[in-house]
Chain A
Amino acid sequence: MEKIDDLKLQMYVDNELSNEGRAAVENYIKNNSEARSLVESYKKINHLVSSTYSQIKSDDLPKRTLDLLMDEKPSLISRLLNYEVKLFPALGAAAALMVVVSFSLNILKIDNNPINPATLMSENKRHVVLNELQDILKDSEDSLSGIVSFKNKNIEYEEVKSYLDARGRECKDIKFKNFVIKDAVINEATFVKLSSGEWKVTKLEFIKDSSVGI
């Protein structure tokens, strides 16, 4: 019979033994109270070490390290708070933006709002647009920016944010330039990567406009 020493007992606690080894130790500690007490003591130490640091995993993760990994550009608000953006020009820009918003902005969520955006884009065209957008992210790994051709027009796009949503899915916010369809100027789209690996557009931001589109 194999000798069962202190190291073997620790290997048992650390799941380092084969099935036969485990059975031998279990048989041994059944009849040996000292060995049983040692095993209990080693298990308790493992449990206490693990409990000591258990809170750490669920804590909020350090933002500066996450920013490093997300390559996230700081928001306008955080830049303002850090005085990276001059306050008066920024306030002027914000005021101008509010005027524009009050007259013409219409930001709509495709999935969550059953009333729109059919009023701005026909069902048929919307699918064409969404399919086209989803193609942009095919096989992409790195930060996105570039030009996509849509109905013989070149549309510039750029990734503005990459993050994980509440369900842990990878998301990307893509900003567009010169993307006009009928009476809608498409500004930004949010893509979510599905478990199948495909990208799906879950949010589209656009402005109702009188410009002539594609």
Chain B
Amino acid sequence: MSKLKKELMFLIPKLRRYCYGLTGNKDLGDDLLHNSVVKILEKFNFGFNAIDNLSAYMYRLISNTWKDELRKKYRNVEVHVDDMIYNNLPDLETGNYDGNIDTLNEIKESIKSLSLKLREVLILVALENKSYKETSEILNIPIGTVMSRLNEARKKLSGQKKNNEIKKVN
């Protein structure tokens, strides 16, 4: 097994989780992971071998692959791919959560209501524990943009949570 494949094997569980986070769906996530792995292996087959940080490269490749897929799928929609909200995609499977399942479902719905640009930043920081610097490198955006997107995502999530609580009281 080549060095690249060994490193990829090690990264696969994390990358897969990121794919689920981005797509919000298990099957779509696995497809995205597979397509991304095919892409990197093809690049290496053509002699591409200058990757310093494979982990960051793979996160970036996955993000870009997903955006390409969305662009193809919604070719006729006049919304920028970063601003796409895919609330209408199939639901995620229930994860293992020891807290209130209603809260977990709420957060799942809320995450799906975030645009892709907010969602990817939130997932990289909150799920993958990436630093702001790593996130900015992966997504190729300034750190300030990472912080503002993260702030916006959190405000939206906590705002929705409050709204849901108000709805429940009423």
A residues contacting B by CB (< 8 A) are 6-7, 10-11, 14-16, 41-42, 45-46, 48-57, 59, 61-62, 64-66, 68-71, 141-143, 162, 164, 170
One of B46-54, B57-65, B150-158 contacting the partner:
B150-158
Contact, CB under 8 Å: B37 / A141: no
Q: Which residues of B contact A (CB under 8 A)?
A: 1-3, 5-6, 8-9, 12-14, 16-17, 20-21, 26, 29-30, 33-34, 37-38, 41, 92-99, 103-104, 107-108, 111, 122-123, 125-127, 131-132, 147, 150-151, 154, 157-158
> A69, B154: Cβ atoms under 8 Å?
no
Interface of B is mostly: helix
CA distance A24 to B133 in the complex (A): 22
Given A16-B132, A52-B95, check contact A69 B1 (CB 8 Å). yes
Contacts of B154 in A (CB 8 A): 10, 41-42, 45
A71 nearest CB neighbor, chain B only: B1
Contact yes or no, A61 B12, CB < 8 A:
yes
Interface-centre pick from A51, A56, A170 (highest chain B CB count, 10 A): A56
Interface of A is mostly: helix
Do B16 and A14 have beta carbons less than 8 Å apart? no
A sample of 24 inter-chain contacts (CB < 8 A) reads A6-B151, A10-B154, A14-B125, A14-B131, A41-B158, A45-B154, A48-B104, A48-B107, A49-B107, A49-B111, A49-B122, A50-B126, A51-B96, A51-B104, A52-B95, A52-B97, A52-B104, A52-B108, A53-B20, A56-B16, A61-B12, A62-B33, A65-B30, A68-B41
